[in-house]
A and B are shown apart, each in its own frame.
Chain A
């Protein structure tokens, strides 16, 4: 007997209900894309560019096509007429012009622009046959000089990557009141300056990307299984913008998906080429990325170079923040690449603080690297890192305690209009800071530091008081900012004649536990047992529509769509109940699964109403349709603003440079919570990814050759079980004011707060030895080198 058996109906919302999806995952019965097979399926292998930048002089596939087991080979030449992959967000630059948007071919057209750029698709009877054949393809490359770092790419004389992007510039964009910021700096009594790099990351969901594409001649329909976070968006982009296929003839299924973290939002070349090819070869085509391929071809994250300045008055009140960031877009614009270092970054630079003036300028550059796009947090970790590192530094310089400088600047009146476009609806930043400090036993830190010192260790404590904008997004606001899509969500609640319920959601679960959380909402609101509710997601053939899962939006937006559909079910149920109970509709109350005539004991159960809806013998057929199946679309009116304080405690071994995270505390405000167990799990995972960025992870391309140096899990250090501690996690609640659940979102918070908290802790630990600057990751070599350098300058 699990906890589910004891959960009463009324209390099911807000309870740590065990997950419905776990039974299949724990027994090997999950169905991930690579687990799905079709009769007569073939296998795809992509030949990729070994060069970062080269013109393709010729491609000879004759021998490959004759290789044993080969079905066909496709190159860019075969895809003439197929459009490039689109970018979903148009950024308009400070010059008033649209961003430079060079073509993103599905297979290379005459030129390759990063190591891993797909050059040919080989289709064969087995993967081994396809790989063997790929070795027979002869590509003549004229290798060109490469550039991999964004500041290098913007230098005069840098290698030109696209004709359509002179100087490798995608855009220069700005937000905020520059004159007001300049004026504030002129009267500041203290200015803190900081130069920071937000290190490039590779998302590394443990399930590599995979796809299975099939064209069925009988129905003239395409089916695509794909490891993806938003199958409707994938279908829309692929059909309407790239392949010109009829949308209603394409079914995209994102079955069980093994983690995404952003990297599976996008429309990628691989599945697009496979959908093109399946109709030509009249066979299903299957592909699963190998990890090395994932490193080369998945969209990467972060990669910002930033200079920031904070102006303060004599009391440590923030007067203005000025930020300049160079962002790396990679070789092509991935689906949402352009909005990450702009709309989702500069808008968050107020943080939790009432800084009156903020100005941010961002230049985005093309480089000979894999495309960069949203990765867990997407712009918001970068913003938090800038704000919380500079606040830490300012506190150190002015001799103000870290909690105190934050308190002196917290926003305390809501709604609050920031100088960078957002309007925070609610929050209580003192509350999460206080609670986090108590949980982290900040009062006991000096004693722990002294004790560590006796053991020869440097101990440090760091804060990050973060905010994020989630619940993407009001479509009209997003549209005015350049979004080329709507950002609503769809939900359908189908009540069956026996009273059980199937919920269809446009949100996609790839670890977040929607099958449980959404079922809790439905069970709680309709008063039906949890086991009678099934949640369906990830299939354009079954779900009305959906924008998918990213930006911690699923509960706030997808959940709200389900609530709207539930409201429609209840409203219709009241009409049916009023008829059966011979009462006025306005007298019917619905509570705990019963429709009751107010003030009486006359009632009908939810199951009775459901049955009546499908067996309408005694039914108001003149005014109410039979059936009990409602669909709703929910478009949010504002972003949601989860916020909290994270506190990290580290110990540094000055002799080896090894940083140990000894404690990590997170106190977050996610608004109302449906399943605290799942929420805590989301925080744990996010924190580990954030600590991964700060402690271990760094994607490195060779500056000369453009080769990816961290191309496997042996070179790129994902956090392992022994790299992180157990975490202390707590929550405080100020409900979101504008969605029916009062929910804000919890998926990214950990990854947003943790990097700054950890690096501030490392800086605190290293302050006594005179280290003034350190970029992520705080690897042993970097820390050791910084200590050595500080000694040399001492």
Chain B
């Protein structure tokens, strides 16, 4: 028993027939081949699967694909400009060494963009509190916080 699904992903309309129990993250990864969104846990704790749904950060492992019916979904693959220019948050993560193994990175970047959109002038304490839903085991968060502050300065211009 499949259900019909239609949404916009990274600016392009997509439609598919999916098993109703399909999670949004599995739809993105397995049906659309957008493997930049990662699965790091099964309890919505790690945030590696974070994408934007209608402009807000959402943990895609915790949402059925059908719940995203008709929405606008943005994944890490959709952040980079057509000419290859990185989003200021991606560039800041690179410049500040805000990533090591890279597995939490897509979710971390998507969360961080949402964070800066909501708190443009966030201080370190706010950034740390807001990133509480994204786990990184490599960086100790030090350089992630630095990257978010740097990107916030650029995004605010």
Question: Are B103 and A206 closer than 8 Å at their CB atoms?
Answer: yes
Chain A, range 510-544, C-beta contacts under 8 Å to B: 510-513
Q: Is A485 part of the contact surface with B, judged by Cβ < 8 Å?
A: no
Question: Are A714 and B45 closer than 8 Å at their CB atoms?
Answer: yes
How far does the Cβ of A747 sit from chain B's closest Cβ, in whole Å? 11
Q: A259 vs B139: C-alpha distance in the bound complex, in angstroms?
A: 11
Chain A, range 1-41, C-beta contacts under 8 Å to B: 2-3, 18-19, 21-32, 34-35
Q: Is A257 part of the contact surface with B, judged by Cβ < 8 Å?
A: yes
Stretch of A341-349, A565-573, A682-690 that contacts chain B? A682-690
Chain B, range 6-60, C-beta contacts under 8 Å to A: 19, 21, 29, 34-43, 45-46, 48
Question: Are B135 and A720 closer than 8 Å at their CB atoms?
Answer: yes
Closest chain A residue, CB of each to CB of B144: A721
Specify which chain B residues have a CB less than 8 angstroms from the CB of A513 in the assembled complex. Answer: 100
Question: Are B93 and A208 closer than 8 Å at their CB atoms?
Answer: no
Question: Are B43 and A726 closer than 8 Å at their CB atoms?
Answer: no
Q: A726 vs B42: C-alpha distance in the bound complex, in angstroms?
A: 29
Chain A, range 430-468, C-beta contacts under 8 Å to B: none
Contact flag A257-B19 (CB < 8 Å), given A684-B142, A712-B42: no
Question: Are B139 and A681 closer than 8 Å at their CB atoms?
Answer: yes
Closest chain A residue, CB of each to CB of B76: A28
Q: Is B131 part of the contact surface with A, judged by Cβ < 8 Å?
A: yes
Which of B93, B101, B129, B145 interacts with A207 by CB under 8 Å? B101
Question: Are B97 and A718 closer than 8 Å at their CB atoms?
Answer: no
Contact flag A25-B46 (CB < 8 Å), given A18-B94, A288-B39, A713-B135: no
Question: Are A19 and B97 closer than 8 Å at their CB atoms?
Answer: yes
Q: Is A291 part of the contact surface with B, judged by Cβ < 8 Å?
A: yes
Question: Are B102 and A724 closer than 8 Å at their CB atoms?
Answer: no
Q: A720 vs B108: C-alpha distance in the bound complex, in angstroms?
A: 12
Q: Is B80 part of the contact surface with A, judged by Cβ < 8 Å?
A: yes
Q: A657 vs B81: C-alpha distance in the bound complex, in angstroms?
A: 49
Chain B, range 102-137, C-beta contacts under 8 Å to A: 102-106, 109, 124-125, 127-129, 131-132, 134-137
Q: Is B64 part of the contact surface with A, judged by Cβ < 8 Å?
A: no
Specify which chain A residues have a CB less than 8 angstroms from the CB of B143 in the assembled complex. Answer: 681, 684
Contact flag A28-B36 (CB < 8 Å), given A712-B43, A713-B41, A721-B144: yes
Which of B21, B94, B109, B137 interacts with A204 by CB under 8 Å? B137
Specify which chain A residues have a CB less than 8 angstroms from the CB of B93 in the assembled complex. Answer: 22, 26
User: Which of A206, A259, A288 is the most central at the interface, judged by chain B CB atoms within 10 Å of its CB?
Assistant: A206
Specify which chain B residues have a CB less than 8 angstroms from the CB of A291 in the assembled complex. Answer: 40-43, 45-46
Question: Are A206 and B43 closer than 8 Å at their CB atoms?
Answer: no
Q: Is A205 part of the contact surface with B, judged by Cβ < 8 Å?
A: yes
Question: Are B102 and A256 closer than 8 Å at their CB atoms?
Answer: yes
Main secondary structure of the interface of A (DSSP, over half): loop
How far does the Cβ of A517 sit from chain B's closest Cβ, in whole Å? 12
Main secondary structure of the interface of B (DSSP, over half): loop
Q: A258 vs B37: C-alpha distance in the bound complex, in angstroms?
A: 13
User: Which of B42, B80, B141 is the most central at the interface, judged by chain A CB atoms within 10 Å of its CB?
Assistant: B141
Q: Is B138 part of the contact surface with A, judged by Cβ < 8 Å?
A: yes
User: Which of B40, B46, B95, B135 is the most central at the interface, judged by chain A CB atoms within 10 Å of its CB?
Assistant: B40
Q: A681 vs B138: C-alpha distance in the bound complex, in angstroms?
A: 8
Q: A116 vs B37: C-alpha distance in the bound complex, in angstroms?
A: 28
Specify which chain A residues have a CB less than 8 angstroms from the CB of B90 in the assembled complex. Answer: 26-27
Q: A228 vs B56: C-alpha distance in the bound complex, in angstroms?
A: 34
Q: A21 vs B101: C-alpha distance in the bound complex, in angstroms?
A: 9
Closest chain A residue, CB of each to CB of B87: A26
Chain A, range 664-686, C-beta contacts under 8 Å to B: 677-678, 680-681, 684-686
Which of A26, A713, A727 interacts with B109 by CB under 8 Å? A26
Q: A24 vs B102: C-alpha distance in the bound complex, in angstroms?
A: 9
Q: Is A225 part of the contact surface with B, judged by Cβ < 8 Å?
A: no
Q: Is A128 part of the contact surface with B, judged by Cβ < 8 Å?
A: yes
Specify which chain B residues have a CB less than 8 angstroms from the CB of A714 in the assembled complex. Answer: 43, 45
Q: A678 vs B101: C-alpha distance in the bound complex, in angstroms?
A: 12
Specify which chain A residues have a CB less than 8 angstroms from the CB of B99 in the assembled complex. Answer: 22, 25-26
Chain A, range 208-255, C-beta contacts under 8 Å to B: 208
Question: Are B35 and A35 closer than 8 Å at their CB atoms?
Answer: yes
Closest chain A residue, CB of each to CB of B93: A26
Question: Are B35 and A685 closer than 8 Å at their CB atoms?
Answer: no
Q: A685 vs B143: C-alpha distance in the bound complex, in angstroms?
A: 10
Specify which chain A residues have a CB less than 8 angstroms from the CB of B40 in the assembled complex. Answer: 206-208, 258, 291
Q: A685 vs B142: C-alpha distance in the bound complex, in angstroms?
A: 8
Which of A18, A25, A288 interacts with B102 by CB under 8 Å? A25
Chain B, range 70-84, C-beta contacts under 8 Å to A: 75-77, 79-80
Contact flag A28-B131 (CB < 8 Å), given A206-B136, A681-B100, A724-B140: no
How far does the Cβ of A750 sit from chain B's closest Cβ, in whole Å? 7
Chain A, range 687-714, C-beta contacts under 8 Å to B: 687-689, 712-714
Specify which chain A residues have a CB less than 8 angstroms from the CB of B101 in the assembled complex. Answer: 25, 205-207, 256-259, 510-511
Closest chain A residue, CB of each to CB of B148: A721
Specify which chain B residues have a CB less than 8 angstroms from the CB of A26 in the assembled complex. Answer: 76, 86, 90, 93-94, 99, 102, 105, 109
How far does the Cβ of B111 sit from chain A's closest Cβ, in whole Å? 10
Specify which chain B residues have a CB less than 8 angstroms from the CB of A22 in the assembled complex. Answer: 93-94, 99, 102
Specify which chain A residues have a CB less than 8 angstroms from the CB of B34 in the assembled complex. Answer: 28
Specify which chain A residues have a CB less than 8 angstroms from the CB of B41 in the assembled complex. Answer: 208, 290-291, 712-713
Q: A595 vs B95: C-alpha distance in the bound complex, in angstroms?
A: 35
Question: Are B140 and A684 closer than 8 Å at their CB atoms?
Answer: yes
Question: Are A721 and B102 closer than 8 Å at their CB atoms?
Answer: no
Contact flag A718-B77 (CB < 8 Å), given A25-B105, A27-B86: no
Q: Is A722 part of the contact surface with B, judged by Cβ < 8 Å?
A: yes
Q: A21 vs B109: C-alpha distance in the bound complex, in angstroms?
A: 16
Question: Are A684 and B139 closer than 8 Å at their CB atoms?
Answer: yes
Q: A750 vs B138: C-alpha distance in the bound complex, in angstroms?
A: 11
Question: Are A677 and B97 closer than 8 Å at their CB atoms?
Answer: yes
Closest chain B residue, CB of each to CB of A690: B140
How far does the Cβ of B101 sit from chain A's closest Cβ, in whole Å? 3
Which of B42, B125, B139, B145 interacts with A292 by CB under 8 Å? B42
Q: A288 vs B40: C-alpha distance in the bound complex, in angstroms?
A: 10
How far does the Cβ of B118 sit from chain A's closest Cβ, in whole Å? 16
Specify which chain B residues have a CB less than 8 angstroms from the CB of A720 in the assembled complex. Answer: 131-132, 135, 141
How far does the Cβ of B105 sit from chain A's closest Cβ, in whole Å? 5
Specify which chain B residues have a CB less than 8 angstroms from the CB of A21 in the assembled complex. Answer: 102
Q: A208 vs B100: C-alpha distance in the bound complex, in angstroms?
A: 16
Q: Is A261 part of the contact surface with B, judged by Cβ < 8 Å?
A: yes
Q: A722 vs B127: C-alpha distance in the bound complex, in angstroms?
A: 8
Q: A194 vs B29: C-alpha distance in the bound complex, in angstroms?
A: 52
Closest chain B residue, CB of each to CB of A722: B128
Question: Are B75 and A688 closer than 8 Å at their CB atoms?
Answer: no
How far does the Cβ of A358 sit from chain B's closest Cβ, in whole Å? 32
Question: Are A34 and B140 closer than 8 Å at their CB atoms?
Answer: no
Q: A128 vs B90: C-alpha distance in the bound complex, in angstroms?
A: 35
How far does the Cβ of A488 sit from chain B's closest Cβ, in whole Å? 25
Closest chain A residue, CB of each to CB of B89: A26
Question: Are A258 and B142 closer than 8 Å at their CB atoms?
Answer: no
Specify which chain B residues have a CB less than 8 angstroms from the CB of A261 in the assembled complex. Answer: 137
Contact flag A29-B36 (CB < 8 Å), given A205-B101, A684-B139, A727-B140: yes
Q: A317 vs B146: C-alpha distance in the bound complex, in angstroms?
A: 43
Question: Are A685 and B127 closer than 8 Å at their CB atoms?
Answer: no
Q: A724 vs B109: C-alpha distance in the bound complex, in angstroms?
A: 20
Question: Are A512 and B100 closer than 8 Å at their CB atoms?
Answer: yes
Question: Are A128 and B21 closer than 8 Å at their CB atoms?
Answer: yes
Question: Are A721 and B141 closer than 8 Å at their CB atoms?
Answer: yes
- CB<8 Å pairs between A and B, sample of 9: A22-B93, A206-B38, A208-B39, A292-B43, A513-B100, A678-B97, A719-B140, A720-B135, A727-B142
- Given A206-B104, A726-B146, 7 extra CB contacts under 8 A: A25-B101, A28-B37, A204-B137, A206-B101, A206-B103, A681-B100, A722-B125
| Interface positions of A (Cβ within 8 A of B) | 2-3, 18-19, 21-32, 34-35, 128, 204-208, 256-259, 261, 288, 290-292, 510-513, 677-678, 680-681, 684-689, 712-714, 718-722, 724, 726-727, 750
Listed from nearest, the 10 A-B pairs whose CB atoms lie closest are: A28-B36, A258-B103, A25-B102, A688-B140, A511-B101, A511-B100, A713-B45, A684-B140, A35-B35, A28-B76
